[in-house]
Structure 1
Amino acid sequence: MHAIAALDARPVDDPLALQDIEVPDPSGRDTDLLIRVEAVSVNPTDVQRRSRVKAGGPPKILGFDGAGTVVGLGSAVEGFSIGDEVWWSGDASRAGANADLQAVDHRIVSRRPASITFADAASLPLTAITAWEGMFERMRINREDSGTILMVGGAGGVGSILIQLAKQLTALRVIATASRDETAAWCRRLGADAVADHRDLEASVSALAPDGLEYVFSSYTPGNIEAYGNLLRPFGQIVSIDGGDLDLLPLFPKSIGFHWEYMFARSRYETWDMGEQGRMLAEVADLVDTGAVVPTATVHIDDFSAAGIREAHRLVESGTVIGKVVVHR
């Protein structure tokens, strides 16, 4: 089959940063669906992983958001049939979706929203799962909880869906951060109650929430821990999705909880509750089909080749994209 792969770590402007190659069709496990990929999106994790590929190793097929059609079923698969149109965010330890075919464990897959295209569907799985797990599992937010959540990086992929899920599924007030007129307008359009300027984070958020925050969902954590400690009320909660070498001591006096969110943990370790991700995606699909949640794709590239994927990587690396970049057939 045709696939797009990184063979070594090269700058995105190098034509060989990603290459069209031919590889054998995936050999699936008993629990796998074999899916013909129709569309993918590019996330920061794709860019990061491309930058770490070592020359001389096996080709690295990236892509962790997909939408496509089921063409094969493992012997232990339940709930799916050939021809089902599905969406998923895959397993970071296996070959990704930048290929004609991908083998994906059926427990982390659901039927895609019927009301949108494959391309728009591919914009949501990874970010929706990240937002869902971060809010409802890491911070243990209940759907009746009130208070204020700060989404740092509101116009990014995760921010764009978290704003929507928080407004649809909780009673929280949502403050998003942005720094440009167009990104601030995007956050408001998705439902943010207020927008703060992350270039002057503490002062800007304090003006909007003088009594403090209950929750912070952080896409830009290094350098912000002290500000979060000042902004959060006692016993507040933080979820970080970007890692880094962090000094958490400023959180200690208020007994603030700090959590990592890594949505590939379930598939990487084949946890007993892997199927929760399929359930999350099914609920998000329902929200999309009722119009409560909208896709977050803002750039569509009609070129499922190394050139198209490379352009998507270039855009994501630029740091200027609102929402998500998708590549489709």
Structure 2
Amino acid sequence: MAKLLLSALFICISAIGMAAAAEVVAGHPGCLTRCGDVDIPFPFGVSDQCAINRNFWINCTKDAGKPFWGNFELAKISVEDGKVWVKAYMSTQCYNTSTGKMSYRDAWANLTGTSSWLSDTDNRIIVIGCQTLAYMTSDSYVIGCSSACDNKVSKLTPKNDSCSGAGCCEANIPKNIQYYQGYFNEGYNTTKIWTSSPCSYMAVMETRAFNFSTTYLTSRVFYDKYKGGVPVVYDWAITAETCMEATRNKNSYACISNNSQCIDNLTNGQGYRCKCSNGYEGNPYVKDGCKDIDECLNNVTYPCTGICTNTLGNFTCSCYPGNYMMNSV
């Protein structure tokens, strides 16, 4: 058996790292950046002086320990994604045993005149019930669906994790929605089936937060789980201006950090927002808010099996010089 020793210098291609922006809480000096359990990063703020404009004002005094964005209880803000998560009421119809009639509560939301829109990619219309036809109406649309259960007319059998019409149905949400109201067709109700299915629900809510359970049909588990407030996602922009329009006024232009850039809101609604440039992370709305990512500290996202060298806005990955040993017979 012989051993062949080859001396070699490996030449590797440098890799340019694309930044995966992280959430960094930053606000104006002297302004709260947390209310209860929720981080409040700029451009949001707990007063007119701390927020970039009135649309981004967070009320931290309405209910002790709970931040509110307008009439919504606020759950989360993402500067990176340009989204907010809130808790919104659901619409309900329940049989009232005292009156022998149906009781209704129609939920609604109105952000008309702001630079925020109901996220069409993160939310859906969810309808739960055994004899239910419900809708979401807005300025331009009426959208809904019908759900039924196994009876003489329908042979649909509800199943857990399935929302295709048997006890649960869902519908997509259009783009550019700022106002909506949820309501029921009162011709479809639980008057005759209230002993087995007393209530029906209609909710505009975050898609990934919902998994259907057949217990939602026979009890108040769905309502009690969310205490009447389901998670909803909104997309936001700084103003209704485009990037071209916004950059003309340096006094109000929001992308003030070095290594930040302006992006037009082209997918839902209108206006512009800011992001850190590739290779940087942080808050583009505050001075020096975008920081260089050290890709060499995260080998999972930025794999490098050789010599990793961090540079401003990117990194290089080169191979170790050395010997390569090959065994042969």
Do the structures match in fold with TM over 0.5?
no
Larger Rg: 2
TM-score range for the pair, normalised by the shorter chain length: under 0.3
TM value normalised by structure 2 = 0.25
The structure richer in strand per residue is: 2
TM value normalised by structure 1 = 0.25
The structure whose RCO (Cα within 8 Å, separation 6+) is larger is 2
The structure richer in helix per residue is: 1
